[in-house]
Structure 1
Amino acid sequence: MGTLSGNPLLSLEDAQQRLLDLTTPLPIEHVDIDRAFNRYLAQPLIASRTQPAADLSAMDGYAVHADDLQGPWRVVGESAAGHAFEGIFGMGEAIRISTGAVLPEGADAVILQEDLARNGNDLVLTGTPPDPADKHIRRRGMDFAHGTTVLSAGTHLGAAQVGLGLAAGHRHIAVRRRARICIIDSGDELAIDPLACAPHQIPASNGIMLGAMARTLDVDVQRLGPVPDTLDSLLAAFDAAADADLIVTSGGASGGDHDLVRPALDVWGAQIDFWRIAIRPGKPLLVATRDHQGRRQVVIGLPGNPVSGFVTGYFFMLPAIRALLGAATPRPASLQSRLAAPVKTNGNRRQFIRAYWNGVDVVPHPQQDSGALLSLSQSNVLIDRPAHAPAGAPGDTVSIFLLQNGGIA
């Protein structure tokens, strides 16, 4: 039975866990690694080759024998990146070698070119030989060996990870199917055209904001609305979203006479799992599911106030999408920072304060109204204030969440 009116409010973590427990990763598909960026690995990635495949020089210099570090030497050949020295060489001889070139057979030391002086093919030591002798050598398998698990399932595939996947010998890798997200803006007060917005209306900015948040992940986004505050209109919108893996509504999830998302979901055949959580902004959050054509759809009803919608989208919509895509850690992680300005004693709900973080200190924004989008756009973090937290003074340590919302975060 869900947490509905009259029941205790769920904590953020309990509500997130209930949502994630309802969310099943999407089916696996194999894609060219060029198309894998910003997705999540669905299966462990095992190296099919060794990197590096041979001993290489880490610097420009000369390859010599470790028992012959004082010289002088005679240069008898060269090993360049992509063009290995094919012969053999003995004591008193050296091979010119470039960074990334294969170490010649028998060589076990590289002396930096700035520690040597060359006259024709004659080479003498003028600086300090390497200590240890193999200091400037990248040994075979230094990075990874054939058969090593280089990436675990659920890893987010950023630029370094796709580069690693190719280096490990993979042209195709397993990821989850792209998620289909439908965002429904609802409310009679919403105007689709900001240039034709009557005094009793506000521009329908939540849908485009939430769609932009969702598109930071690998998803297809469908936007519907603004949808009028009628049961039939909401039912038609839910029917239009019947193929979505995740449906996100904005507005209409509170308990007022014109908040019809809950009754519409009941008629549509969805089951309410919980409603309302112990945070601000964002208390009237709703989560429901519907079993449709052999698969489960998840519905998240977000508050209509834009900052409330953003904060709950950050803590619920984005983790749900990451879970659909197979992320090992779908929830955002917090960092520690220190206050640069005071904050007031908090009430009985956990609060997330818009703020700007400069990499060292965090400054709370003076405007914290849940309808104030300007202050949200000027913030790049949320300060996490526990329920009943005492007043905070400059220099106090606080937890923050990075928003990737402009600025440096």
Structure 2
Amino acid sequence: MPSLQSVISCLSGYDPTALPVAQANAIIGEVVEPVRGTEQLALRTALDRVLAEDVISPIDVPAHDNSAMDGYAFQSAALAAGGDVVLEVIGTAYAGNACDAAPTAGQAVRIMTGAIMPGGCDTVVPQEFVDVQAGGNQIRFAADAVRPGDNRRLRGEDLARGQAALAAGRILQPADLGLLASLGVAEIKVRRRLRVAFFSTGDELRSIGEPLDPGCVYDSNRYTLHGMLRRLNVELIDMGVVRDDPAALEAAFRSACENADAVITSGGVSVGEADYTKQIMARLGDVTFWKIAMRPGRPMAFGRIASNGREALLFGLPGNPVAVMVTFYHFVRGALHRQMGANVPPLPLMRVRSAAAIRKKPGRTEYQRGILAPAADGGWEVRITGQQGSGVLRSMSEANCFIVLGHEQEAVAAGDLVEVMLFDGLM
């Protein structure tokens, strides 16, 4: 596992006081490694877990050529002459039952959806295209109603025996569970769940239910962190509020890294805040302190801390509520996915019109909170939620996307195209 300092030493132009977002994520990606533990789970309990190994299909799916709909199976050579096709019906094929009928030229078999295709047949004409005659013993239909091979599902067209069905690192979704069930897989090997400890720091913080003294605020950050972490399906260790006391802080850090794979704190890393928080972080491990060229969320600590032979990743986030959420989504979320062993592609960015001008200076990445909505002309446009201060948590609650203004981007005029990242899929 590379040390943080060895990774940083390989970077050109590294400046911890004005670190671009992309460079910060690159450093984190070099340091974070997946947990190694695995467990075997019943299929029904594996939703949202990370697949630990490739799943290879043990069978062909479907196991036989079969009909994609109710109709009549026949040999497609009958279509060559054009005009009307007249065929003798010699039997019926039902799903789940073998059909002994083997029609020759000029014959057909009545077939139900999912039934095995009779020998020699390669095409199914849907029943709604057919005129049934002679008491059901004969059918007539136009030759141009179907093409050779229509409405036939081929053996193994979904998955062939020996083909990779799902790749290691996939976060299992409902469709994946159905796919595994179709292969007869009852249990699956997954990575063990990540354990994440989190706490807030600050003498001014009060927990819900406590009276608010002058100058104090309720701790909202633990609740947003709790919600964001729940979305990742990790084991949570909520350590509450830790006062600005060196002994209490060190005890909290030690307990956290002895019991968790990752530790997330909010507060204590900004300029002017208690220096001993940073001192304790640095004393316990390999930690660096950044001022990231972004808004909101400039201050951040990252690294590893250790106690009693146990080591954990550390993410020291700012104290302002919106800054906590922005830094979590754009740094911590991806790092935790990597630590979980999950292969999660970056979320796509949409380009839409800005409904109004947005002020922006080059040299930092900004994550404005936006509301994406249909425009009058049928397109899409986005507007900011109002005040964008890092303490205005309402801006996150009202928004449905981030307006992502890149590092070198300048001010935006009304009608300009901007990139947005939808909250759907992120949160």
Q: TM-score, normalised by structure 1?
A: 0.91
Change (3 A) 1:337 1:161: farther
Report what 1:376 is aligned to.
Answer: 396
Report what 1:261 is aligned to.
Answer: 277
Change (3 A) 1:405 1:201: farther
Match status 1:232 vs 2:252:
no
Match status 1:21 vs 2:30:
yes
CA distance, structure 1, for counterparts of residue 205 and residue 388 of structure 2: 22
Q: How far did 1:405 drift?
A: 8.6
Q: Are the counterparts in 2 of residues 111 and 129 from structure 1 also a CA contact under 8 Å?
A: no
Per-residue deviation, residues 277-306 of structure 1 (Å, max 9, x unmatched):
111111111102024566541000000100
Report what 1:221 is aligned to.
Answer: 236
Report what 1:244 is aligned to.
Answer: 260
Change (3 A) 1:323 1:54: same
Among candidates 69, 72, 76, match of residue 86 of structure 2: 72
Q: Are the counterparts in 1 of residues 90 and 101 from structure 2 also a CA contact under 8 Å?
A: no
Flag structure 2 segments of 5+ consecutive residues without an equivalent: 375-379
Look up the SS of the partner of 1:100 in the other structure.
coil
Report what 2:303 is aligned to.
Answer: 288
Report what 2:313 is aligned to.
Answer: 298
CA distance, structure 1, for counterparts of residue 166 and residue 18 of structure 2: 39
Flag structure 1 segments of 5+ consecutive residues without an equivalent: none
Among candidates 122, 144, 159, match of residue 137 of structure 2: 122
CA distance, structure 1, for counterparts of residue 359 and residue 391 of structure 2: 20
Report what 1:392 is aligned to.
Answer: 412
The one-letter code sitting in structure 2 at the alignment partner of 1:50 is D
Change (3 A) 1:247 1:7: closer
Q: How far did 1:314 drift?
A: 0.6
Report what 1:181 is aligned to.
Answer: 196
CA distance, structure 2, for counterparts of residue 139 and residue 212 of structure 1: 45
Match status 1:93 vs 2:107:
yes
Q: Are the counterparts in 1 of residues 287 and 305 from structure 2 also a CA contact under 8 Å?
A: no
Q: Which residues in structure 2 correspond to 1:164-179 (within 5 Å)?
A: 164-179=179-194
Report what 1:157 is aligned to.
Answer: 172
Report what 1:38 is aligned to.
Answer: 48
Q: Percent identity?
A: 33
CA distance, structure 2, for counterparts of residue 146 and residue 295 of structure 1: 43
Q: Are the counterparts in 2 of residues 45 and 152 from structure 1 also a CA contact under 8 Å?
A: yes
Q: Are the counterparts in 1 of residues 90 and 137 from structure 2 also a CA contact under 8 Å?
A: no
Change (3 A) 1:139 1:169: same
Match status 1:132 vs 2:147:
yes
Q: How far did 1:190 drift?
A: 1.0
Q: Are the counterparts in 1 of residues 75 and 105 from structure 2 also a CA contact under 8 Å?
A: yes
Q: TM-score, normalised by structure 2?
A: 0.87
Q: How far did 1:340 drift?
A: 2.4
Q: How far did 1:167 drift?
A: 2.4
CA distance, structure 1, for counterparts of residue 275 and residue 419 of structure 2: 34
The one-letter code sitting in structure 1 at the alignment partner of 2:21 is L
Look up the SS of the partner of 2:231 in the other structure.
coil
Q: How far did 1:377 drift?
A: 0.3
Among candidates 310, 315, 337, match of residue 325 of structure 2: 310
CA distance, structure 1, for counterparts of residue 48 and residue 353 of structure 2: 31
Look up the SS of the partner of 1:315 in the other structure.
helix
CA distance, structure 1, for counterparts of residue 329 and residue 249 of structure 2: 24
CA distance, structure 2, for counterparts of residue 132 and residue 292 of structure 1: 70
Match status 1:348 vs 2:363:
yes
Q: How far did 1:26 drift?
A: 1.1
Look up the SS of the partner of 1:78 in the other structure.
strand
CA distance, structure 2, for counterparts of residue 23 and residue 346 of structure 1: 32
Q: How far did 1:315 drift?
A: 1.2
Q: Are the counterparts in 2 of residues 110 and 130 from structure 1 also a CA contact under 8 Å?
A: no
Q: How far did 1:308 drift?
A: 0.2
Q: How far did 1:316 drift?
A: 1.8
Change (3 A) 1:332 1:244: farther
CA distance, structure 1, for counterparts of residue 279 and residue 345 of structure 2: 30
Q: How far did 1:114 drift?
A: 0.9
Report what 1:363 is aligned to.
Answer: 383
CA distance, structure 2, for counterparts of residue 401 and residue 168 of structure 1: 36
The one-letter code sitting in structure 1 at the alignment partner of 2:174 is A
Among candidates 52, 58, 68, match of residue 68 of structure 2: 58
Among candidates 269, 288, 291, match of residue 276 of structure 1: 291
The one-letter code sitting in structure 2 at the alignment partner of 1:243 is N
Per-residue deviation, residues 77-108 of structure 1 (Å, max 9, x unmatched):
22222223233233333221122221111211
Change (3 A) 1:80 1:62: same
CA distance, structure 1, for counterparts of residue 33 and residue 382 of structure 2: 37
How many residues get paired? 405
CA distance, structure 2, for counterparts of residue 376 and residue 217 of structure 1: 19
CA distance, structure 2, for counterparts of residue 264 and residue 333 of structure 1: 38
The one-letter code sitting in structure 2 at the alignment partner of 1:246 is A
Q: How far did 1:129 drift?
A: 4.6
Report what 2:377 is aligned to.
Answer: none
Q: Are the counterparts in 2 of residues 25 and 176 from structure 1 also a CA contact under 8 Å?
A: no
The one-letter code sitting in structure 1 at the alignment partner of 2:259 is D
Change (3 A) 1:140 1:76: same
Q: How far did 1:204 drift?
A: 0.8
The one-letter code sitting in structure 2 at the alignment partner of 1:244 is A
Of 297-306 and 50-59, the range deviating more from structure 2 = 50-59
